[in-house]
Amino acid sequence: MSLVIFYILGAAILIAALMVVTLRNVFHSALFLVATFFFVAGIYLMLNAEFLAAVQILIYVGAVTILILFAIMLTHKIQSKSIRQVNEQVLPAMIITGLLLVMSVLAIIRTFGDSPPKSKNRGSWTATFDTDKIRDNDGFLDWAAGIEDESGKDYYAFGSLTILGDNAGTPMGKKVKAEPGIGNGYIVSSNSGFTTSNIVFSRGQNVYFKIWSDEVDYNSISTAELYIFRAVDRPGEDPWSLLGSIGDDEKIVIQLSNSNSESIGRLLMSKFVLPFEVVSVLLLAALIGAIVIARKDG
Amino acid sequence: MPGLAHYLILAAALFCVGILGLLTRRNAVGVLMSIELMFNAVNINFVAFSRFLSPDALSGQIFAVFVITIAAAEAAVGLAIVILIYRNFRGIEVDKINFMKW
C-alpha cells in the first residue's frame, strides 16, 4: 500500500519537476514548482518527518514560491512566448544528465539495493526503582521488559544496565525517577529470540527505556511490565533477585514516542543550538542583503 | 514498504531533472527554480538516510531544516540579484549577461 503511494508521489514529483524545467511559460513553471514542493512534503510524511513536511509547506510553498512568483511578475516581458526559453546546449545537457542519472541509480542499487528499514523508536518506559536496593551492587543490573498486545501475544526484551559514576550522586534510599534521557532497549518477539542491549548510566542519572518493534502495534498494548534484576554473582544471594518491578498500568507509562516536532525542537535547542543560531544569523544577513541589493536607489 | 533505495533513486532523478533545468534554462528565475529542485532532492536524501540508517538520531532531519533555511536565503538573494539585473539590462537571459566574461 505504502509502495503504491510512494510510486504515485514519486511519479507526481518527477512529472511536475519535468514541467518546471521544460515549460515555456516561466509563470506556469513556478506553479508546477509549487506542486513539486507539495508532493515532496508528502514524501517527508512517508518518512515519518512530520515537522519537515510542515516546514516544507510553510517555507517552500508559502514563502519561496511567492518570492519566485513576485520576481517573475516584476520582471515581466520575460514570459512572453516569443522568447526562447532554452539555450543551445539542450542535447548535451540531456546526455550528461541521463548519464549522471544512470550512474547514480546503479550506484544506489549496488550500495543500498536490499537494506531493510530499521524500526523507529515507538514507545518509552517510565520506570521508578529504589536506589537503596542497588546500593551494594557492583553496578550491573539486568532488565527485562515485556508487553502484551490485545491478541495476547507476548513480546519480551532483555538487556543490561551498567551504573557508573560516584555513589554520591543520589542520596541513598531516595527514589530515582526514570525519565527520558538515556539508554535504549529493544522489544523483540518472544518467538524470534532475544536482543540484548547494554545501557550505561551514572548513578542518579535518568534512565530511559525506549522500545521499538515493527511487529507491535502500540495501540493494541494491553499490559506492560518492566523488571530490573541484579545480575551480579554474590555469595549467598540470588543472582537474579528482583530489584523492582513495574507492572500493568499503575506506574509504567507507555507513550507513543515523542512527536517528531518535539524531538526536533529539543535537538535544535540542545545539540544543534550553535548551527541553528549561525543559520539564523545567516538568513537574517541574507534577507538584509537582498533588500540592499534590490533597492532602487542603491 | 518502499526501501532506502527507492527514496535515493527518486532523489537522484529529481536532482538530475534539476541539473537539466540548470543547464538548459535561459531565464535566470528558471535557473533558480531548478536549483530549488536540487535542494529538494538533497533534502529527500537527508531525510531518507535519517529514517533508514539511524531512526532515533534525527540528525538528517535537522540538517534538512538547515538546508531549507539556506535555500530560502539563496532564493531571496538570488531573486534580488535577478531584479537588479533586470533593471540594468532589461532582460534576465543568463546567456546574454556575459559582461563579466573574460
Tell me the per-residue pLDDT of A74-122, one tens digit each, with 9 for 90 and over.
886 655 556 677 778 889 999 999 999 999 999 988 887 765 554 443 4
What is the per-residue pLDDT for B101? 77
The label of the residue with cell 546500593 reads A135
The β-bridge relationship of strands A209-211 and A123-125 is antiparallel
A289/B24 Cβ within 8 A = no
Q: Distance between CA A37 and CA A26 in Å, rounded?
A: 16
pTM assigned to the model: 0.68
Grid coordinates belonging to A145: 521488559
What is the per-residue pLDDT for A263? 81
ipTM exceeds 0.90, yes or no? yes
A35-39, A219-223, A265-269, B31-35: range with lowest mean pLDDT:
A219-223
Mean pLDDT of B23-34: 90
What is the per-residue pLDDT for A215? 47
Per CB-CB distance under 8 Å, the chain B contacts of A59 are 68-69, 72
Largest interatomic CA distance in chain A: 94
pLDDT tens-digit readout, A35-58? 999 999 999 999 888 999 999 999
Query: Please, where are the H alpha helices in A155-272?
Result: 260-269
| Pick among A34, A40, A70 to test the B interface (most B CBs inside 10 A) | A40
What is the per-residue pLDDT for B21? 93
| Pick among B82, B93, B94, B95 to test the A interface (most A CBs inside 10 A) | B82
* CATH code for the domain defined by A2-116: 1.20.120.1200
Stretch(es) of chain A classified as CATH 1.20.120.1200:
2-116
The pLDDT confidence band at residue A148, using thresholds 50, 70 and 90, is low
Q: Is the pLDDT of residue A199 over 50?
A: no
pLDDT tens-digit readout, A253-294? 333 345 778 888 888 888 899 999 999 999 999 999 999 988
Q: Distance between CA B88 and CA B96 in Å, rounded?
A: 12
A118/B10 Cβ within 8 A = no
The pLDDT confidence band at residue A236, using thresholds 50, 70 and 90, is low
Per CB-CB distance under 8 Å, the chain B contacts of A283 are 69-70, 72-73
Q: In chain A, whose CA is at the least distance from the CA of B82?
A: A71
